[in-house]
């Protein structure tokens, strides 16, 4: 597997992304507190099947960002600039995890004709019933904390690695899946000037994201392409499917992943790879 690192200036914003492989486009969008690097095991397993594009979101890692513009529809426009540069108007499979799931959903809403299939990994999009319920749960304490502008930055400054390590540990099943060296890589990315603020601003835009998502769904209807939700909440597949199908998608599948916490791409990349291949096959079968 040969990874290539690139930079693209999109409307004055320097965006970093990684590519690998050849074939139909597959876009992998990371979450918090990660970077493109969270997809390393997935990229290794799929680079012989797809032209993989894995960006760093605006403001994170090697993509330094402005003070504003962190609603997920704006971030989706960044991703579109990258995908267009790499693949033109070829429709892509789009996969997002955590915060990246929100961006992937916004991408599918904004660029419907350019999305062949969508996968949302362990994060229902803002504006859905599941998201509204989930953000009120005790385990979602971090949303309110991250939304406390300046306070969150002040308390985490100089403690980025410790905070990221705690954040990961609280949501992991297989503690060996993300090593100390991996945590060092993530901490270095979020220790960069402005990176943690950019990440927090993504949380501060969640209410705006919900408004934009609802408006897009009201204007153009549910997403028509196959949508797969991957969740670590095993045993709730049918309830999750019914809720998301009612809110966002006409063709909805849910996959529950056993023996995994929130970090599915690193804890169970084998399952995620199988799910991506199955989605691609479903899309191809439907196109015949």
233 vs 276, residue with greater confidence: 276
Q: Where are the domains of the chain?
A: 4-287
Identify the bridge partners of residue 118 per DSSP, sorted by sequence position: 94, 227
Domain 4-287 has CATH 3.40.50.1820: yes
Query: Is the bond preceding 33 in cis, omega lying within 30 degrees of 0?
Result: yes
pLDDT tens digit sequence for 251-288: 999 999 999 999 999 999 999 999 999 999 999 887 76
37-68: buried (b, 16+ CB within 10 Å) or exposed (e) per residue? bbbbbbbbbbbebbbbbbbbbbbbbbbbbeee
Active site residues: 98, 203, 262
Using N-to-C axis directions, what is the helix angle for 99-110 and 72-87, rounded to 10°? Answer: 70
pLDDT tens digit sequence for 60-99: 976 667 888 999 999 999 999 999 999 999 999 999 999 9
Chain-centroid distance of CA 284 in Å reads 23
Tally helices (H) and strands (E) across the chain.
13, 8
The overall longest dimension of the chain from CA atoms, in Å, is: 55
Q: Mean pLDDT throughout 116-143?
A: 95
Task: Give the E-state strand segments of the chain in sequence order.
Answer: 4-10, 13-20, 25-29, 51-55, 92-97, 115-121, 227-231, 252-256
The span from the CA of 250 to the CA of 268, in Å, is 27
């Amino acid at each position: 597997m040969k990874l290539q690192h690139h930079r693209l200036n999109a409307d004055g914003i320097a965006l970093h992304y990684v590519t690998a492989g050849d074939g139909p486009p597959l876009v992998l969008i990371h979450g918090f507190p990660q970077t493109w690097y969270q997809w390393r095991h997935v990229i290794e397993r799929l680079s012989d099947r797809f032209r993989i594009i894995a960006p760093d979101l605006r403001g994170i890692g090697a993509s330094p960002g402005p003070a504003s513009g962190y609603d997920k529809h704006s971030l989706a426009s960044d991703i579109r600039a990258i995908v267009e540069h790499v693949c033109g108007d070829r429709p892509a499979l789009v996969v997002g995890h955590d915060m990246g799931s929100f961006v992937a959903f916004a991408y599918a809403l904004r660029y419907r004709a350019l999305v062949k299939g969508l996968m949302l990994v362990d994060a229902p999009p803002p504006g859905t019933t599941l998201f509204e319920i989930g953000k009120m749960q005790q385990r979602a304490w971090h949303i309110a904390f991250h939304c406390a502008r300046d306070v969150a930055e002040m308390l985490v400054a100089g403690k980025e690695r410790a905070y990221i390590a705690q954040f990961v540990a609280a949501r992991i099943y297989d503690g060996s899946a993300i090593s100390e060296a991996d945590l060092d890589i993530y901490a270095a990315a979020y220790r960069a000037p402005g990176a943690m603020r950019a990440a927090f601003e993504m949380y501060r835009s969640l209410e705006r994201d919900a408004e934009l998502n609802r408006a897009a769904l009201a204007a153009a209807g549910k997403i028509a392409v196959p949508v797969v939700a991957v969740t670590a909440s095993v045993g709730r597949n049918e309830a999750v499917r019914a809720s998301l199908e009612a809110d966002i998608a006409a063709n909805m599948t849910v996959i529950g992943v056993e023996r995994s916490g929130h970090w599915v791409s690193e804890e169970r990349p084998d399952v995620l790879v199988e799910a991506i291949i199955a989605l691609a096959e479903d899309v191809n079968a439907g196109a015949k």
